[in-house]
Structure 1
Amino acid sequence: MNKAILSAATFAALTAAASAADLPRRAFPPAPIPVPVFTWTGAYFGINAGYITSTKDTARTAGVFPANVGVLTGNRPGVLRLPQDGFTGGSQLGYNYQFTPGSGFVAGAEVDAGYTDLDRRRSVVGQAGGISTFRRAGDFLGTVRGRVGYAFDRVLVYGTGGFAYASERYAGLFQTARGDLNFFGSRARVETGYAVGGGIEYALPTDSFLNVFHTNAVTVKAEALYYDLGQRTLPLMATGRGAGAYVTRFQNEGVLGRVGLNYKFGS
């Protein structure tokens, strides 16, 4: 009897084990796919265009010798404004480093250079009929700046500042009431100074129609810069029937606002 019971139990156990071996194994759930996180780290290059205008643009003139009394008598302008504004456009090259991907602080550097449509000529007639003409023109403006900002994922808000340089031309001439030239001076040089400002930049989604590369690498930006290239003193030397000399001091400060498009490597 006991042998029969033991045999039945053994058979039942073997049957259950065989049935269990035929059951499908439990599959583990698939590993979650990580969501890509945008980072501003990487080198970039791009183009920009905008509007530039002068903020301090006064030409101040004085006689050098006691006989040069044209300013004192009102025949020559002691103070004359030469406001300028126009188009600016160029390109930039830079590098950013983001300390934490997604949102976090970003530091970098940028070099840019662009054409500036700044050219102003102005003539006035003095009390004794003397004709005084001044001109100031700028062909290009460039900067070498650091950038520090904070990224909210694809949006970067930043401040910037650094070295500025520009090509400038100055000229002044005085004529008599009859139109005879009696004082003249001109100079062309590269001026240096500084620029500060700030802006906002946005990384386009891959499905944006502006993102022709269909990657995370295209960004658009808008920024404003204030630049100060100091002052330049221009001597106006006597010619023809003139005697002695005058000096004119030009100011060179302004602001620009522009938009830009960048292609960023390493996204």
Structure 2
Amino acid sequence: MKKLLLGSVCGLGLAAGPALAADLGVPVRAAPVAVVVPGFSWTGFYVGANAGYGGGKFDYPFNAFQRQLQAEAPAIESRLDGRLGLTSGGFILGGQLGYLYQFDNRLVAGVEADFQWSGIEGRLSGTGTLTGTGTLPGTFSLDAGSQVRWFGTLRARLGYAWDRALLYATGGLAYGQVRSHADISAANGGTPIPGLTGGVATSHTRWGWTVGAGLEYALTQNWSFKTEYLYVDLGTSNVLSSAVDDPGNGFSAGASMKVTTRFHTVRAGINYRF
């Protein structure tokens, strides 16, 4: 009988233990909660700086002519046409700013504007012979050069993100200042030929287009590093245009030269994202 009573009391005590502990405010450990870490997003504004190297070709299409009428004889004529190609190169340094938006499917789209100081330049010189009918042929010499003093772009960017890595294509408008000079000398028997001798220096702000691609990697939540290639075409501008027309003596002469500016750039940069 005593054993039965003692067992009943112990059973009641065990059953009442959890309830009593709850009433007394004894802490109970909760189940752990999983913490979700958000993935990296490229959405936002950014600003940065870059440096690199650029180079390509300056093309110079040119022509020169002279015509002298003769009494009771065919006109004496000389003409020179051609195209000169000049390899260029130099360092570039600048900055950029832009905005990117990342979609749920990892596509990233945005716009970027940049402005570059440029040391891309080249120079050429050469001599030749003016040939034609009659007895007029003489000598011809040329010294010319061009420099891209600065340029900038306004481009769209479209890419695909693998978390912190972004591979993208880019393209849009380009503009820049191209400074060119040309000194031309043509002579017949040591006598300069009017209209074919002279020098000129010009500076033009040109508009064109650009296309390229790049890879950007986020080092931290705010800082990223990128490498980028761009092809830039600033079109064609006039360097030299001269003419002499003397109908009374039946004499005419002229010369012209243009420059076409195209170059490649490879650069590396760093961006700060807001």
Aligned counterpart, 2:63: 62
Match of 1:113 among 112, 115, 119: 115
Aligned counterpart, 2:258: 249
CA positional deviation for 1:238 = 5.3
Letter in 2 for 1:54: G
Contact 1:183/1:236 (8 A) holds in 2: no
Note closer, same or farther for the CA distance 1:69–1:136 as it changes in structure 2 (3 Å cut).
Answer: farther
Aligned counterpart, 1:209: none
1:79 aligns with 2:79: no
CA positional deviation for 1:33 = 2.1
- Give the secondary-structure state (helix, strand or coil) at the position aligned to 1:82: strand
Letter in 1 for 2:94: G
How many pairs does the alignment contain? Answer: 244
- Give the secondary-structure state (helix, strand or coil) at the position aligned to 1:30: coil
Letter in 2 for 1:122: L
Letter in 2 for 1:223: E
CA positional deviation for 1:117 = 0.8
* Distance of 2:155 and 2:141 partners within structure 1: 43
TM alignment of 1:28-107, pairs within 5 A = 28-55=30-57, 57-63=58-64, 66=67, 71-72=79-80, 78-100=82-104, 104-107=106-109
Letter in 2 for 1:257: V
* Distance of 1:191 and 1:251 partners within structure 2: 10
CA positional deviation for 1:129 = 3.2
Aligned counterpart, 1:3: none
CA positional deviation for 1:120 = 2.0
* Distance of 2:140 and 2:17 partners within structure 1: 117
Letter in 2 for 1:85: G
Letter in 2 for 1:60: P
1:170 aligns with 2:170: no
Contact 1:163/1:195 (8 A) holds in 2: yes
Aligned counterpart, 2:215: 200
CA positional deviation for 1:104 = 0.5
Match of 1:216 among 217, 221, 226: 221
CA positional deviation for 1:17 = 4.2
Note closer, same or farther for the CA distance 1:31–1:170 as it changes in structure 2 (3 Å cut).
Answer: same
* Distance of 2:65 and 2:202 partners within structure 1: 18
CA positional deviation for 1:9 = 10
* Distance of 2:42 and 2:114 partners within structure 1: 19
CA positional deviation for 1:66 = 4.5
Aligned counterpart, 2:128: 126
* Distance of 2:191 and 2:65 partners within structure 1: 22
Note closer, same or farther for the CA distance 1:149–1:174 as it changes in structure 2 (3 Å cut).
Answer: same
- Give the secondary-structure state (helix, strand or coil) at the position aligned to 1:108: strand
**Structure 2: gaps (5+ residues):** 69-75, 130-137, 245-250
- With normalisation by structure 1, the TM-score equals 0.79
Judge which range, 228-237 or 155-164, deviates more: 228-237
Aligned counterpart, 1:184: 199
Aligned counterpart, 2:167: 157
CA positional deviation for 1:16 = 4.2
Letter in 1 for 2:82: G
CA positional deviation for 1:225 = 0.7
Higher strand proportion (structure 1 or 2): 2
1:75-118 deviations in whole A, cap 9, x for unaligned? Answer: xx722112111111111001111113xx7110111000111112
* Distance of 2:191 and 2:202 partners within structure 1: 22
The structure with more radius of gyration: 2
CA RMSD of aligned residues (A): 3.2
Query: What percent of counterpart residues are identical?
Result: 33
